[in-house]
Structure 1
Amino acid sequence: MPAENEFDLFDIISAERRRDEKRLEAMSTPPGAKEDEPPEESAGKLTPYKTDLEYLVDAVELVSRKGRLYQVKQKLEEKKTASVEGDEEQEDGFAAPWQRRHDATRERRRAREFEGQVRQLTRKIQERMRLTRGATVDQPESVVWVPRLERILSSRQMNEFEKEVVILLVGLILLPHKFSVNVGAGVYHCRGEPVDVATILAFLSPDLASQISNRKSFYKDAVLVRDHIIHVSTKGVQGDLSSCPVEIDRRMVDFIVGLDSEVHHLVDGSHLYLPQTKMDAVVLPEETKTLITRTVRSLSLFKKSKQQFKLSETISSSGLVMLFYGDSGTGKTMTANAIANLLGKKLLLINFPSLGGEQAAGFVRMIFRESKINDAVLFFDECESIFESRDRSTQRDVNMLLTELERHDGMIILATNRPFDLDEAMHRRITLAIEFSKPDHVLRQHIWKSLLPSSLPLAKDVDLAALAMRYELSGGFIKNAILTALSIACASAEQSRAGTSPGDVHVTQEDLAKGAQLQLRGRLAMRSFERRIVPRSGLECLVCGPKLRTKLQEVIDFEKSKTVLYGQWGFGGRTAFSGGQPEIGSCVLFYGPPGTGKSLAAQAIGFEVGRALKVVNAANVVDKYVGETGKNIEKVFAEARAMEAILVFDEAEGLFGRRNADASSSVDKHANLDSGLLLYWLEHYPGLCILTTNAKDAIDSAFFRRFRFMVEFPQPDRATRAKLWESSLPKQAPRAPDVDFQALASEFEKFAGGDIQNAVIRAASRAALRPDDGKRWICMADLREAARTESSKADESLQRLYT
């Protein structure tokens, strides 16, 4: 009887379970609907996604259901395997056979339920995404909205498993109640703690083979880890990869749910923005601009071609790296903005002094990750501070940055005004290097015109061509000059009480010229180097005869025309006449008696061409030790070249003197070698080199053919001496009515400019210390007495020289 009762009870329970299963199957598919069609779709109630969070909720729900489906299937597979191997009783303990069959039936029912839910959710998401894309089908591609997670998946080319890993990790943070990650008999997830690789594999893989295959998604070179979307920590883990905890980056979570954290809050010295600068506004030589535009527009084809022709297998670089190098203000940053605008992308500007510090690795990850998730052009401004030559303290950080640079498959732009300071390893990673040279007067006129808005009221006397020809300024400084000119015009309007509204302000040629002068002086003072002289005034302030002024203007005009000659017109090419070397430098000889204005003329030229002076005397170069003079010569030219300075050799006869043709001693031989070295550097120096001397005949004849100009500074005539006397007295200095500059010029015929300057200073110092305020001015007697003192001092010097 017990056996029969047990048998009857089992039959009753089994029959009840079969009826339940049929009822559930009937309920799972509504009348009139297809088996795999969601009820919402058949009812026509689906709408496009409007927010990232809305999409994410559906995606998390789908992954949750799919994970539970896999868990049930794995459990059924385990029971089936145990039954075949005879371990079923050991697996379920003392459960009755009918109980085991009941549990299996329940798990199969759950599997069917989850399968139906997964199909419904999949169709629902696909249909809503179709509606989302269709809602903006008439819009340009740059404004089509898709959920950010979908955008990341597309740009990073993730597979389905990698997509589900991201959704799972985000869901565990935002919607933890959707997940119950059970494997076997254990619970593997606690809120607030990272989930490990094994748990993710078990939850998102339908079988063991898939788990093994999906392990590679957690390798270092996998897209999730390489692009810093997730972090797989090996710290403190001594076992297999499956034991490593996995976390999704906090910034990635914010981005996926639609939060826009400012990049500069994450990485100091960075800024993400959408540039408004158009490529038409960029003023560059046509050849350079065309090269940049064509390279940028063909970026997509370039990447596809690399992949099709399998260049990625032999060339490690993935993206396009461009180097913009040249002086400050030549348009490097403006061009980078225009490139991003042309591509319809954001620009991620990176501008910080170095990568040093414990957080360097985190900074690098954030930089490249932000560029990828925002599909932005990555722009390293003043990159020499980051990619400079490595030492032991920064080698690891720079190596890491160079590695990320190679892996990045987007566009990277580097900008620097010191390309020679870049690490040597950096150069081989650059796809295209473009020099941004200083604009010539033609381009400068275009820059002035493009930066002056049509709404700015300009006076009728404004001559942009004259400003462009007169002031050697790049675009950045021209922009500042315009702002300075507006400030001057506003101050003038306020002072004259012509009006206090912007409509009463008019910018004149004088305002623009004053602004340009201030910018030029400021730029010249920016660069500091040894034995530097910053010019303060140009040729108009130099007092000299008309013949000398014409000669100096020729030197200035030639220097200003070099950009056109050696740039646009191609005279910088190698020719047979130049010995295969491009002739781009200039060497000028200034000769004449002491005090005739040679040093002042060099400064005036420096101001006109926009360069500071590096003044070198023979005593700074010549060394008593053999071989040291040559090293000093090379150092002087290298420093001047790096600073783009005008190199001035004062009292040049001491260094460029005649060589000894009958050199018998080692000293004479090395002196001749030093002269040969000077000849070499004079020919290869790309800038302007000026030699000043009082003894022209002492200069070695071999140097004369290197001089492009030879300018004589004669003793000033009577009219010039009168102007020198007058110009030496500042307007602020009190002057007696009896001062007669013409008389002083006639009385002291042998005076040059230096003598006159010394006499004026001597007379002024005497007048300044008079006790009577009423007589504290510079009078004719003071000037005559000071001039006689200077004259007698010169006579004494000559007497000592010849006695």
Structure 2
Amino acid sequence: MNTPTNAYASLSGWLGWLRRLLSWQIEQTRFIYGALADDPQRGLYIPDIEADLLAAGPFALPEDLRRQRTALVAERAELERSDTDSSLARLCQRFGLDPFGHDVILLTLAPAIDLGFERLYAYIQDDVTRRRPMVDLALRLFCLEPTAQVAARASFAVDAPLRRHRLIQLLDEGQASPNLIAYGVKLAPRIVAALLGQPAIDDLISPFAQMISPTRSLKDLVLPTMLIDQARRIFAAPGPGPVIALDGAYGSGRQALAEALCAEPGQPMLLINGPQLRASDLPAAEAISRCLREARLSDAVLFWQGADTLLDSEAALAWREALLAGLDQHPGCAFLALSQPSPGRMLRHSTQRALSIPMPNFTERAQIWRQSLGDLYPMSDEDLAALGGTFRISGGQIRDAVQAARDHASQEGRALTKADFYAACRGLSAASISKIAWKIPLTYHWDDLVLPADQVERLREVCIQVRYRRIVLEDWGFEAHLAMGKGVNLLFAGESGTGKTMAAEVIAVELGLDLYKIDLSGMVSKYIGETEKNLDRVFIAAREANAILFFDEADAIFGKRSEVKDAHDRYANIEVAYLLQRIEAYDGLVILATNLRNIIDPAFLRRMHMVVDFPAPKEPERLRIWHKVFPDQAPLDTDVNLKVLAQKYELTGGNIRNVALLAAYLAAESGTSITMAVINRALRREYQKLGRMSMP
């Protein structure tokens, strides 16, 4: 373990060697400039004798200094052979530093351990203000021959490991455009901390980075066995660490899989929050470089959360290029968590691999529900099957739903119920779809429907298709024969007020799902490609929310196609085809409603799983509606003859509700009960609204 005590102990031998090397350098300087040692104004001017010495060039060292230097070289070689696991040795190995780079790190680290080194540097550099080592000092200390010094200058280049990985900084020490060797050299604070056994993450990336020690086990993951085996082979393959792109929905298990893979060899994992990283004030190149440096320091596997924000084609070019360039040079493994599959062209790493994490099937969802519920709320297999079959959500969403249900019940001071889990599942992703669709309040049940028996039976069959699709598609193998169309799409046809929206509400209540109404007119845009983007947002949000989609007035877009006369007609047909494609690909329930079935394109009707006609109610149905429309507490006068109303006025259920509601308001205003007179007045208003000039 790299504790501060262990770190110092492993460095003590190197620090002793550095002291002796500095002592040798002092002796060499005194030998060369000995005649100037007693000059009280030394350093304030350049005397003649110093100019002569500088012009004379390199001096031949006396025998004793040569022997000392030879001994120091041998001592260094022995230290290097024996030092295989110090913090300094690990740093050099992880960042690919050569012996000269190793010694530069040592030179810049020493003052962080003992400030006396700063005074030594100032003394040797003949300037009390230069307490930080200059490039010149590093070259003179570690390279005896001028040719070696010239070659070593390359170690301070921008693309050399010392600077590319931000291990050191070059400081101009107040000079304007100084020569390279006149720059001061500073060790990065994060490197100082790492070498001294202080594991804190770089302060500048700590707000969006977290180092974890994974403990998950692959055998505990609820993922396809083939996927786990493939991921293990890729991760454990010899050679440079691969870049593994993991695409999947929120909570699909991307991070869990990466953690379990890291846990097997005991590697730490550095989590980077991509969206937060991009939103930070750090320049892209610096932010990415610091993250990569942090991973190397701890020999950690990188996990980029929300990597789409850094790689997306619409993202800032600087972020994408910085990440791609950094991964190209990074020797370790890196995971990229994506919400959508990543095209190969987005990454140019030679060891790039892509894995898709699927949404759990029914069996896997039931297993995750059982694990997540534990002893909190024991649930029967039947209830688990109903819950797992209704909501096709990820493992992470299941765990979120359990926590949300628990919190809600706790806030209300009561025990958990099955309804809490249904409500929690419905609320998981409501925020995203609520921005683009209207959530219909669910108030109706089967008893509220007034339809012919055949229509009611067909609506119940819709619920059967949704509720038992798991058995049919997964257990009985029908899914393998369906490339698309794994969901259910319906067309409700009938004039306004015949119960189409009510029927959709009843189905939603029966299935325990939310119902969202989509305004197709708001989806269509005059700009090419925008309509498709709008529809994409709707279906993606609906999939996340496990919602029923209700498209009203579908005839506005699905009417019979006319001859294509111009580009506008052609593009309109493309939009219709695209919407049909998205409806068929959606694995939930889509309901389209129309008042004008006769103008709907027959080709469109053939692609519906079911078409349910909503006829205008006949007298018996109208009487049932009149009875249902007045609540028990409504003051209905004894002179009201509902049978006469049903027999005389051929209205739809929606019209009847409008009449009853207006009559109630009129009665409330006059302070009387709801009489036949106020109902007749309300009837006249409804007929006027319908464009019928006279009442029967």
Whether these two folds match at TM > 0.5 is: yes
Partner of 1:219: 157
- Cα separation, 2, equivalents of 1:174 and 1:370: 22
CA distances 1:344-384 after superposition (whole Å, capped 9, x unpaired): 22222222435356532543332221111012222222233
Q: Cα gap change, 1:230/1:353 in structure 2, threshold over 3 Å: closer, same or farther?
A: same
Q: 1:371 aligns with which of 279, 290, 295?
A: 295
- Cα separation, 2, equivalents of 1:407 and 1:228: 14
Partner of 1:87: none
CA contact (8 A) 1:234 1:244 kept: yes
- Give the deviation of 1:256 after TM superposition: 0.7
* 1:105-504 correspondence runs (5 A): 108-109=63-64, 112=67, 146-178=85-117, 187=125, 193-232=131-170, 238=177, 240-263=179-202, 266-298=205-237, 301-303=238-240, 319-351=241-273, 352-353=275-276, 355=278, 359-360=282-283, 361-389=285-313, 394-417=316-339, 426-428=346-348, 431-453=352-374, 455-456=375-376, 458=378, 463-487=383-407, 490=410
* 1:8-87 correspondence runs (5 A): 51-66=6-21, 68-69=23-24
CA contact (8 A) 1:272 1:347 kept: yes
CA contact (8 A) 1:659 1:672 kept: no
- Cα separation, 1, equivalents of 2:380 and 2:314: 55
Partner of 2:41: none
Which amino acid in the other structure matches residue 527 of structure 1?
I
1:707 paired with 2:608, answer yes
Partner of 1:758: 658
CA contact (8 A) 2:208 2:277 kept: no
- Cα separation, 2, equivalents of 1:743 and 1:560: 50
- Cα separation, 2, equivalents of 1:276 and 1:56: 32
Q: Cα gap change, 1:334/1:181 in structure 2, threshold over 3 Å: closer, same or farther?
A: same
CA distances 1:580-622 after superposition (whole Å, capped 9, x unpaired): xx666765322123223323445666785967646234x5578
Partner of 1:797: 690
Partner of 1:640: 538
Partner of 2:38: none
Which amino acid in the other structure matches residue 405 of structure 1?
L
- Cα separation, 2, equivalents of 1:616 and 1:672: 22
- Cα separation, 2, equivalents of 1:382 and 1:192: 45
State the aligned residue count: 655
Which amino acid in the other structure matches residue 793 of structure 1?
E
Q: 1:527 aligns with which of 433, 449, 471?
A: 433
- Cα separation, 2, equivalents of 1:727 and 1:482: 38
CA contact (8 A) 2:490 2:592 kept: yes
Q: Cα gap change, 1:444/1:457 in structure 2, threshold over 3 Å: closer, same or farther?
A: closer
CA contact (8 A) 1:535 1:606 kept: no
- Cα separation, 2, equivalents of 1:56 and 1:563: 65
CA contact (8 A) 2:558 2:601 kept: yes
Q: Cα gap change, 1:675/1:154 in structure 2, threshold over 3 Å: closer, same or farther?
A: closer
Partner of 2:518: 615
- Give the deviation of 1:252 after TM superposition: 0.7
Partner of 1:691: 592
Which amino acid in the other structure matches residue 414 of structure 1?
L
- Give the deviation of 1:258 after TM superposition: 1.2
CA contact (8 A) 1:237 1:244 kept: no
Choose 1 or 2 for highest CA Rg. 1
- Give the deviation of 1:694 after TM superposition: 1.9
Unmatched 5+ stretches in structure 1: 1-47, 80-89, 95-102, 131-145, 304-318, 496-504, 574-581
Partner of 1:499: none
- Cα separation, 2, equivalents of 1:541 and 1:263: 61
CA contact (8 A) 1:330 1:439 kept: yes
CA distances 1:211-238 after superposition (whole Å, capped 9, x unpaired): 2332332223322222211223579764
User: Secondary structure of 1:364's match?
Assistant: helix
- Cα separation, 2, equivalents of 1:400 and 1:547: 60
CA RMSD of aligned residues (A): 4.9
1:597 paired with 2:499, answer yes
- Cα separation, 2, equivalents of 1:53 and 1:539: 74
User: Secondary structure of 1:378's match?
Assistant: strand
- Give the deviation of 1:249 after TM superposition: 0.4
- Cα separation, 2, equivalents of 1:93 and 1:550: 106
- Cα separation, 1, equivalents of 2:118 and 2:523: 78
CA contact (8 A) 1:270 1:350 kept: yes
1:514 paired with 2:420, answer yes
CA contact (8 A) 2:550 2:592 kept: yes
- Give the deviation of 1:553 after TM superposition: 1.5
Which amino acid in the other structure matches residue 325 of structure 2?
T
- Cα separation, 2, equivalents of 1:169 and 1:590: 77
- Give the deviation of 1:163 after TM superposition: 1.4
User: Secondary structure of 2:267's match?
Assistant: coil
* 1:610-689 correspondence runs (5 A): 613=516, 615-617=518-520, 620=522, 628=526, 633-644=531-542, 648-660=550-562, 666=565, 671=569, 674-675=572-573, 677-679=575-577, 681-683=579-581, 686-687=585-586
- Give the deviation of 1:696 after TM superposition: 1.5
Q: TM-score, length-normalised on structure 2?
A: 0.77
Q: Cα gap change, 1:638/1:358 in structure 2, threshold over 3 Å: closer, same or farther?
A: closer
Unmatched 5+ stretches in structure 2: 35-48, 54-58
- Cα separation, 2, equivalents of 1:194 and 1:787: 98
CA contact (8 A) 2:252 2:359 kept: yes
Q: Cα gap change, 1:488/1:173 in structure 2, threshold over 3 Å: closer, same or farther?
A: closer
Higher relative contact order (CA 8 A, sep 6+): 2
- Cα separation, 1, equivalents of 2:676 and 2:102: 91
CA distances 1:81-138 after superposition (whole Å, capped 9, x unpaired): xxxxxxxxx99999xxxxxxxx999x534554565577568657866x58xxxxxxxx
CA distances 1:721-748 after superposition (whole Å, capped 9, x unpaired): 798779878xxx88259799x9969963
- Give the deviation of 1:259 after TM superposition: 1.5
CA contact (8 A) 2:167 2:188 kept: yes
Partner of 1:19: none
CA contact (8 A) 1:198 1:243 kept: yes
- Give the deviation of 1:166 after TM superposition: 0.9
